[in-house]
Structure 1
Amino acid sequence: MIRGIAATASDGTAAEAAQNALTAGGSAADALIAGFLAAAGARPGVLLAPAIALVAGTGVGARVFDGRAAQPGLGAARPRGFVDAASVPHAARVAAPRTLGMLSLLHGYLGRTRMGELARNGILAATHAGATERAELIKQVGASGGATLQLRAVSRALLAAGGVIAGGTLTEDDLRENLPGSGDALTTELPGDPEGSDPITLVRSPFPAGAEARPAEIIVACDGRGMLAALAYAPARLGVIVAELEIELGHDAVPVRRGVPRTTPGTVLPMATPIAVLQRGRFAAAVGLERLPGIDNRTLTSLTERLTFETGWDASLETRLSELRLQTNARRALAAVRDGQNAKALIQGKITDD
């Protein structure tokens, strides 16, 4: 059994909740869920933000859990469309959220702690922020998971914000039928160098990031059972406020324009996914690079170069992580790392105001 546990995140509230979940005996997947819900409690734009999770390691293979948003409009006739960009209302950019269903799916596969317990930090964070309706919503997520979207009060509030009356195309079918996905992650095996170093296994999202995707925030974790996990989510920025729920919806949908082919309802929309898991011999890490659209194999490979286990892998990795952040122009680099016995959470880069 691997003894070490570690977690960190872009959001301080998320980092604390993720680490607490691990300390209480939860899995790395539990840490992602607890961290995400804590961030959602603290800030209105997180709870229904598009999200993707990667999980790899002992006994779990390499899987991706897909909670990206979907193009709205299921079950509705094609609208006439807007003449130009200036006439597009904010509601027309509201997409169908799949995040809560993804969290339920992830928990069903790999969770060890009750979902209600994982929601506790989120409820407390929302209450502390004075957002009692958001606290109640997160409590409901802990009880019902993705089915929360189908509760009458919730669906009514979302449709009022992004449905036809507001100038959007979100429908009841969107909230009911846009289910999350899971499958094999993109895994690449690279040989070691001629001097006989261990081969490298790289695990990434198989989905394209999209050139205009919003910056993603990150949670990374490793548990004492050999699981490593990373979550990328893209909080709403200047989005659509749902006052009844005290949340904010992002601009993720593609508005229908006259004379322009319509994006088919149900189409899963791209998002930034700058997360990965890599393994080289006894070393393994869940990694995230803020403000990047994604991570390629070359970037990941460079992280394992010149690691000096004899003098302390953590110090060696911290140097490489700092170099990697500068090379890629990432805002910050985050990692939860282990060497088969110990684990450590690392962050390189200063926290700056957006």
Structure 2
Amino acid sequence: MPHVLVTGGAGFIGANFVLEWLSHPEADGIVNVDKLTYAGNPASLASLENDPRHIFSRTDICDRQALDRLLAEWQPRAILHLAAETHVDRSIQGPADFVQTNLVGTFTLLEAARAYWSGLDAERQRGFRFVHVSTDEVFGSLGPEDPSFSETTPYAPNSPYSASKAGSDHLVRAYFHTYGLPVLTINCSNNYGPYHHPEKLIPLAITNALAGKPLPIYGDGLNVRDWLYVGDHCSAIRAVLARGRVGETYNVGGRNEMTNLQVVHRVCDLLDELEPKPQGSYRDQIIFVSDRPGHDRRYAVDTGKLERELGWMPAETFETGLRKTVRWYLDNPAWVRHAMSARYPSPKATQDAS
């Protein structure tokens, strides 16, 4: 059976991608490489326990010898690199882990991929792909009237997280131009959906609301993000892998610009409908807290290149995607409890939208 290797496949986007990929009976097998830090939740993959197409390896992407062994054993036709430390608040409190995973880890994976790819025959070399999944945060912050980020927007990262991702993007680009490694890069906007760790804005709002806790929002709540349903992101990754031009970057977004306050209001309104309180609205639990350092004001993503070249379009609106998300959290309290357990500690500040 042919295989693809996915890093970070027990994380939020990674788990959704693995589950979606293996929902197709004819799909290649997946070698799922994840270190299982606090955000790598094996419970997200429970439905694959008896699926022989899913090979899980608890491996750190900084472990070159382990990567070499996996590549030699499974001979993947592609590497999909989703492993990353992603929480901005955590990067402010402890940037070292972000540099290690996002920068050193990507370098180590690229070196392993280059050695593996160099040893393939000419036909398999032509078919091999290295897809690197990154973020729109590498482009910095937009003003209210600025045009959306395009693939040619200059990099201007403002947090240790986005700086570490920017560095990884540059390494991926360099390995294409220097060594010819067939890479593609995706810069995505804020994802939301099932299996999202409760430290992020939407699942935090859902879980805190249901627990009767405050719903904290940074600053004035008017920071703007473009929201992308994770299932749509997974379909974009598949499109880039299948049809993307080698060496190119593609922006992926949901065309759903919204302030953090608007997002939390919509979460509250859905909970008022689906799980109403005895009295009042969940909006009553909203509080405003001191803004975090270097908080980017606005992100917006131009997806025109992806749409024109690969025919990709999001299937979900924010309304349909958010309803699916809220419904999933209501229906999966055991997963939420596991994600919030002592084994998966939350940082001191948990109001991050990204």
* TM-score, normalised with respect to structure 2: 0.29
* TM-score, normalised with respect to structure 1: 0.29
Q: Which has the higher helix share?
A: 2
Structure ranking higher on relative contact order (CA contacts 8 Å, 6+ apart): 1
Q: Which has the higher strand share?
A: 1
